Every structure is written in C-alpha cells, then in structure tokens.
Structure 1
Amino acid sequence: KFIRPYRKLFVLGQLVTLFATGAGLVFPLLTRDIIDSLIGSGGHDAVTRSVALLAAAFSCLALLTYVKERALGDLSLRVVRDLRDRVFSKIPELPFRYFDQNRSGDVISVMTNDINRVQDSVSRGLAFVVTQIVSLVVILILLLRIDVILTALMVAVVPPFVAVVTVVSRKSRVQSRRLQSLLGNVTSIAAECVRGIDVVKSYVLGSHAIGIFRKTNDDVLETGRTQVRLTAAGAALSTVAGGIAIITLIGVGGARVLRGLITPGELVAYLIYAQMIIGPIGMLTGIVVEIQKALAAIERVFALIDVEGEPQAVSPKLPSKRNNAGAVDVIPDASTVPTRGASIELRNVDFSYVDGRPVLTDVSIEARPGEFIALVGPSGAGKSSVLKLLVRFYEPTAGRILLDGLDLSTIPIDDVRRETALVMQETHLFDMSVLENILAGDPDRSDEDVIHAAHAAHAAEFVEAMNAGYHSRIGENGTQLSGGQRQRISLARAFLKNPRLLLLDEATSALDTESEKKVQAALARLMTGRTTVAIAHRLSTVQNADRIYVMDRGRVIASGRHEELLARCRMYSDLCEQQMIRAPA
C-alpha cells in the first residue's frame, strides 16, 4: 500500500538488484578460467583476458551497487515519510476512548521506534530477499552444471539450517513483540516524568521515577539479551553446519579433481558458489531476528492505523459558511437558527466510560439559544462528562443529544466542533508564539483579528508588553505565562473562533482574585449572544445563570434559578452555605 505510489522506484531498485546479483555471480566463473589457464596451457593472453573481465565485472558491480543503494534508500525514506504522516494524521481521528486506554508514550514510540524499525526492513530486507532468491536459483543451476554429486551433498545439509532458522524465528517473534512493547513503556515513563516535572521535583520523586524507569529499562535489556542469545546460538549452529558442508565439499571435490572428473578451477568456482549459498543461510538466524523485530514494529504501526476513528455523521445536515463579517453561520435550514446562539438538549442521556459503570443516568438538560446554563454539584457528579458529550468526545450509551433540533450523531463531528468552544480549567497551549496559539481558534483569520481577540480577552495588556509581542514564544504548554495569562490566551482563541456554543469547565477556579476578575470580564463579553454551558466551582460565578442544574452521582436532582434552588434544593443550599453565598435581599 505504501510502496505502490513509488512503484517505479521500487521496480528500478529490484531490477538493479537483479543485475548486481548477476554481476556478482560472474566472479567464480572468471576465477575458474584464470586458475585453469594458469595450471593448463591457456597462456598469458587467456589469463590477461580473464583478469580484465574480472576488473570490468567489479567496476560494473560497484556502479550497480551505488544505484541500488540510492534507489532502495530513497524508497525506504519516502515510504517511512508517508507512514509517519499517516500515523500522525491518524492521531486527531482517534476516539477519546483510545487515549483513555493507551498511554501517549505508546503513540510516540510507534512514531519513532517502530517506524524507524520499518525503515530498516524496507531498505535492507527487500534487497536481501530478492538477492538471495535469485542467487539461490541461479547458483543451483550453475552448481548442477559443474558437478551433480557435489550439489547433492550440499543440498543434504540444508535441512539442519532450516531447522535452526525455524526455531529461532518462532522464539524471536515473541521476544520482538515484547521488546517493542517495552520500548513503548520506556517512552511513556520518560514522557510522564517530563510532563510532571513540577510534581517530581516538589515531591522529591526523582529517585522513585528513576527506579521505575530503570526497572523497565532493565526489562528492555533482558529481552534484548534473550534475542542476542537466540541470534548467537543460531549463528553458532549455522556456522557448524556450514563448516561441515564446506569441509565435506573440499574432501569429496578434491578426490574428484584427482580422478579427473572436474578441474581445479571448477572446484574453486564450486566452493565459492557454495559459500555464496551457505554464507547467507548461516546469516539467516540473525536476519530472521531482525525481520521479526520489523514485523513486530509493523504490527504496532498498523494496529494504530487500523483503529476505528470517531463515528461519522449519518448525513451532513449542518453545513457551515463564513459571512461577510467573518463569523461562522450554521444553517441547517433557513428557519432553524433564529438567533446567534445554538439550542441544545440532552434527552434522557445515559453514559459510561466503562461498561457496567454508569457516569450519567437519565440526564435531561436544555439550553435555548443565547441562554446561560450552569452545572453544579460535588466532584464526580458527571458535570465534565456532559461537556465531553456536547463536543462529541464521546457518544451517549442511551438517549439523544440535539443541536438546533438535530440529532448530534447526524452532524459531522468537525461541524459540531467548529461551532463550539471548550474552555477548560487547565488549558493547553502549544510551544509556539502567542499569535500562533490564538490562531488555533481559526487559522484562516488575519493578524488584525488576533489582536482584536486578544483585546476582547483582556490579554493584549501583557502580550504587547512582551519582548516580541504577539510573536513571543511562550514555552511548552505556556510555561512562560502565569495561570491567568494562559487562561486569557485560551479565551482569545475562543473569541477568534466565534462559536455559537460556549462550554466552560471551571474556567476560573484555579486563578487568583485579580486574574479571576480579568478572566470573568472577558468571559462576560464572550458569553454575550452565545449559548453557554458552564461548570461552576465558585457558585458566585453562576448566580445570574438562566438555569442551574444540580447534579449528583450522574443524575440531575434539581434545576432552576439561583433563588429557587436555594429555597427547595438542600444540596444546592448547602453548597452555597459552604461558600457563604446567600439569597439576594
């Protein structure tokens, strides 16, 4: 599949490999002629002619080898480039459940360790297979023409080689799979340590982290040593079998020379050809181990590529277009969207991350266009899961979710997400410039639009004070910014996206008072005219919500305005009392 686009390069590489193999097979015949000419009465001219042909054959072989290495090397680089692109392109398509069940280090390991292993197999494996198959067939024909008896003896030693290779191959496959998996573990542990370096340092976990890493690294060592032992044992046994074969051929062949059945030159040629077969067969154990490593790597690469992506819409019913002002208008039907905000509804929704462990049960929530809806409740009540369903990170296990009256599952995922902005408590920023981070909200917008979005999010004041302004790099995940600054960059990104549905997951809970004031001012502006669903930790931020849904253990236990819930919902009134929030006088 990945070689097909480069079939011309592939064919060139294989043809040149065939010619190079053929050139290499000429040497024993020319050597035979030289020896027989020296021993017999061929004369000086015959020897000179054979030596000249030998030199020409070597020159030809050198040129063909260069072309072969260039062609197959280029082929492997192109195939691996496409394979790496395909794996990376697959990552955004993977469902969230995949990331729940697999570590990020495993994905990175596939991108690096496994694909590099595939590159080796493409560049070396293809040439080796073609060379050995062609050589085997041609050499056997040549050997039979020189001496049938010697050829029968040589063929008799092949079964021991095959037996050794079979045993090594079977055991190596298991070890190769384990090794590639362990390399993924090593990458995961290292990535976890780097991502959580603040925790590692503050809790003095360096020694603990090193211990975990060393244990896994030692497992890699032991698995690798097992493979080395297999290779070494196989190579030793193959050498013994090959030695026995060559010694036997020399003994029997020498006797046949003395009897005049073959010439000395033919015996030398025969032994060279025999070594051309026996040598690679002796190397087969090591080659088989490398092939098994490559197969294990290929299995992991294609296991990721073959993961079923996010569910697609039954039919695209929510096309988007950009109006003259640069805003995105969603028009399923001309009369379906009466206002800027979207209407959403959860109808008797059930959801679970793991079968048999419900996270949401019979949840019904409604937000009319432009309304501000709040979700409150204790930790683990299922609030964040509601937002994840609205942005289609997951699909409900039962019930329906409607957007503008349309079943969410019938709308292409990308269309849903283009109309939605999700602002999390811990936002992710890329190791790029401020400009590029804000442009992530809509890469098609202009620099001027970015500046307007930054002003709207109250981010311009600190961005423009930075050394390079909007072109300043902010470090991995915005490490050069404070928490409040990171959140305002995230809000600027949402402003630029200009969504119809705004989802806020405790967007201000981790901020200090001053930062919270600025972020709240930006949020108030962002929420204007948009439908907003907010998870609130500080209930003071949602007192003015059009409707508040109180959740507990995956269920909605009450809904209404702030004053109503204070009067009739014990859990809500207790939460307000804990935060010293009272009903307005």
Structure 2
Amino acid sequence: AYTSLELTLVMLCIVPLVVVFAVVFGRMIRRISKETQDRIAASNTIVEETLAAIAIVKAFANEKFESIRYAKSTDAIIEKALQGAKARGFFASFIIFCLFGSIVGVIWYGATLVNKDIALAAADPTIPRDQLFTLGKLIQFVLYSVFVGASIGGIAEMYAHIQKAIGAGQRILEIIDEQPEPYHQGLTADTIAGDIAFEQVHFTYPSRPDIPVLRGVSFEAQRGETIALVGPSGSGKSTIASLLLRFYEPTEGRITIDGTDSREFKLEFLRGQMAIVPQEVILFGGTIRENIAYGKPGASDKEIEEAARKANALEFIEGFPDGYDTIVGERGIQLSGGQRQRIAIARAVLKDPRILILDEATSSLDSESERLVQEALDKLMVGRTSLVIAHRLSTIRKADRILVLDRGRIVEN
C-alpha cells in the first residue's frame, strides 16, 4: 500500500475468492478425513475380530474370506485417503494459481501505470519524479508481492493439514464434549441396609427411543431377600440390573434404596455398595491375585485367599505352579469358563457388597462347574439383597420370590 495503493487493491481482489474456496475445500477435506478414520477403525475391527475368533475362522475354513474382507477394507481406506490427498493438492494448487495469477495481473496493470506516468512526464517535465510510478517502484512492488505470496502459499498447505487433523479428531472431540456422570455428587453414608424398590419404572434406551424396554415395572426387595428375575430374552431382566447400577436413568418412575431415590446418592458410594457377577466374565490380563483384588484394591493376601476359598476357587488356584501369581491372559483366556466365574465371585466376595446382582452367572457352564459355582453363589448371597437373573431352575430354587417378566412388564409374582 505504501508503494502503490492501486496495485494493492488489485492484489486484494483475490482475497474473497480464496476465502470462499478455503471454506468449501476445508469442509470437504474435514469430511474426507473423518470418513478415512472411520474406514481405518472398521478395518482394525476386522483384524481384532478375526484374531479373537481365530479358532472359529479356522473351523469354518474361512481364512481366504477374512483375507479378502480385510483387503477390501484396506482398499477402501486407500481410495478415501487418495481422495483426500487430491482435494488437498487441488486446494493448494488453486491458492498458488490465484497468487501468481494476481502477480501477473499486477505486472500487467503496473506496466500500464508506468507507461501512463512516462507519458505524463513527457508532456509535463515539471512533475516531481517521486509522484510518478516508475519501473523501479513496479519491480519493488512485485518483489514484495512474491514474498507475501510465497508465505500465503505455505499457509494454504498448513490450513489443509489443520482441516485434516480436525476431521480425524472429530470422534475424540465428540467424546470430550460428552457430559460426564455426576460421580462425586450426592449423598453418602457408612453403608446401606439393602432395601430396593422399583416404582412404576419405564425405560427406553437412548439409541432406540421408539422401543420401550420396561413398562411400569414395580417391585420391592427387602434387605437380605433374594429376588429371581425370569423371562424370555429381551424381556428387560438385564436392563433392571443396569438401572439399579445407574448405568442408565429411568425414563419415568423411580428406584429407591432404603427409601431414598437412587439418583440422590453419590454414584461412587452407590456402586461401592453393589457387586455384579455377569454371564460373560471379563478378567484383566494380569494375575489371579490382581483380578481378585480388583474388588477391593489394597486387600491383603489373607483377604484374597479367604475370598478365593469362599468362591470355591482355592483348589484350582493352588493347582497352578504359580498359584495366585498365574497370568490369566487377555480377558482371562488361559482359564476355563467355570474358573473365570469363580474368580469373578471371589472378586465380589472381597468387595463385600450389600446388594448382589447375578446376571445368568451359571448359564454357560457344564454340570460340575455349575455345581461349584452355585455353591459359591449360595454362600455369597447369605445376608445380602440379591437380584438373580436366570433361566435355569437350579439357579433360582432358593429364591424368596420369583418375578416373571415379559415384554417389559411383570406378568407374575
């Protein structure tokens, strides 16, 4: 602007065009980057599932099928990545084209200004030279423009990379924006007695708001009482357990613990008073000792051994060469189903909960393993409010009451 205001305005004419294309291409690059990351995630899922179920893949002789499936997923990743690279390359090329095109325009327009001022100087020699636009000033302005253009050309590439990073990190940003659970807010007490009441509870999952899972469920469980929940798959049994643990909140109605709405308790305290033994036991990839101690971090060896004894796990643990220091493998793969269940029961014993949830804890075991696990469960349920979800009669024969659910309603009590 100091050298020539007119040429500066000519240069700035491309700015609106560059801004429009930056917005359009920025959104495109961000979308393509997000889709690329989604395809990478899908490809990684194929690898993870195939390796986790390698025995099934081999049993069905589907190695070639899985290889082709993975090859297709990687081809899809490459296709989308190339699409993104082309978009970024076109955007950078367009910016450079605009910049150097504007410089050519400046040289042309500047040349007309120089010729005009030369003609003026020839017609009136008295005009001061510093008021004329000379060839030297044109060269000076062009050099300045080249320096600025080179810098802006680098910004274009940087802008493309920033949009790519934003698209790739969009999933992470969505997770960061999620509202956390009110984990440390609410009431606490030394302990709870274990009285449970569901009062006209309705519930639908957030991902399926049009499908009601529970429809006006009401029941009570007194402290120390064992309540069995039976019914066909999808009737809402496991959902009741999830609501009790406050993984979700009821759509309508309320759940009370010792007469107090469960939503008023601090989550950390409430869940600390409960333990669950699920059907599919998840063990961490450490030692047996670490997995049992997960129920009470910092527990002594004596407490861990006592919990294992009550869970009928002492015999098989001591049968391993490394005993409690035996590595269970990823998700407990080194142990049998019955052994994993008894480790989970020992973990629950060590936690010493007031409310116990058993979610079909013996449904996938053989007769001998079921007997041992059931004996351990019977010991564990003594003196605790227990919610037992089961299909087998052997699991619920000692229940104080049996609730039959069907399509989200209690049809028999």
- TM-score after normalising by structure 1: 0.60
- For 1:494, the equivalent position in structure 2 comes to 348
* Cα distance in 2 for residues equivalent to 1:356 and 1:152: 59
Identity between Structure 1 and Structure 2 (%): 40
SS in 2 for 1:237: helix
- For 1:222, the equivalent position in structure 2 comes to 79
1:88-99 matches, within 5 Å, as none
More helix by share: 1
Is structure 2 residue 189 aligned with structure 1 residue 319?
A: yes
Letter in 2 for 1:308: Q
Instruction: Choose from 242, 254, 267 the match for 1:400.
Output: 254
* Cα distance in 1 for residues equivalent to 2:171 and 2:34: 9
Letter in 1 for 2:189: P
* Cα distance in 1 for residues equivalent to 2:265 and 2:306: 31
Instruction: Choose from 182, 198, 206 the match for 1:346.
Output: 198
1:410-449 matches, within 5 Å, as 410-449=264-303
Q: 1:273 to 1:444 in 2, by over 3 A?
A: farther
2:289 and 2:325 in contact (8 A); partners too: yes
Q: 1:171 to 1:359 in 2, by over 3 A?
A: closer
179-188 vs 402-411, which moves further: 179-188
Shift of 1:164: 4.9
Is structure 2 residue 226 aligned with structure 1 residue 389?
A: no
* Cα distance in 1 for residues equivalent to 2:13 and 2:227: 83
* Cα distance in 2 for residues equivalent to 1:198 and 1:422: 29
Instruction: Choose from 152, 156, 162 the match for 1:281.
Output: 152
Q: 1:483 to 1:286 in 2, by over 3 A?
A: same
Instruction: Choose from 179, 184, 188 the match for 1:308.
Output: 179
Cα shift readout 1:362-402 (whole Å, capped 9, x = no counterpart): 32222221122212223233222222222222222233322
* Cα distance in 1 for residues equivalent to 2:94 and 2:154: 11
Cα shift readout 1:243-282 (whole Å, capped 9, x = no counterpart): 45666778979x99xx999999999987665443212322
* Cα distance in 2 for residues equivalent to 1:452 and 1:514: 22
* Cα distance in 2 for residues equivalent to 1:364 and 1:166: 55
1:222-261 matches, within 5 Å, as 222-244=79-101
Letter in 2 for 1:178: E
Instruction: Choose from 459, 477, 480 the match for 2:334.
Output: 480
1:168 and 1:288 in contact (8 A); partners too: no
Shift of 1:475: 1.0
* Cα distance in 1 for residues equivalent to 2:105 and 2:215: 79
1:68-107 matches, within 5 Å, as none
Shift of 1:539: 0.1
* Cα distance in 1 for residues equivalent to 2:412 and 2:237: 14
Question: RMSD between aligned alpha carbons?
Answer: 3.4
* Cα distance in 1 for residues equivalent to 2:259 and 2:6: 86
Shift of 1:493: 0.5
* Cα distance in 2 for residues equivalent to 1:307 and 1:150: 51
Letter in 2 for 1:367: A
- For 1:171, the equivalent position in structure 2 comes to 28
Q: 1:288 to 1:372 in 2, by over 3 A?
A: same
Shift of 1:160: 5.9
* Cα distance in 1 for residues equivalent to 2:351 and 2:93: 66
Q: 1:312 to 1:468 in 2, by over 3 A?
A: closer
- For 1:521, the equivalent position in structure 2 comes to 375
1:285-296 matches, within 5 Å, as 285-296=156-167
Extract unaligned runs of 5+ from structure 2. 119-128
Shift of 1:352: 2.5
* Cα distance in 2 for residues equivalent to 1:172 and 1:395: 39
Q: 1:316 to 1:171 in 2, by over 3 A?
A: closer
- For 2:121, the equivalent position in structure 1 comes to none
* Cα distance in 1 for residues equivalent to 2:334 and 2:219: 39
Letter in 2 for 1:352: T
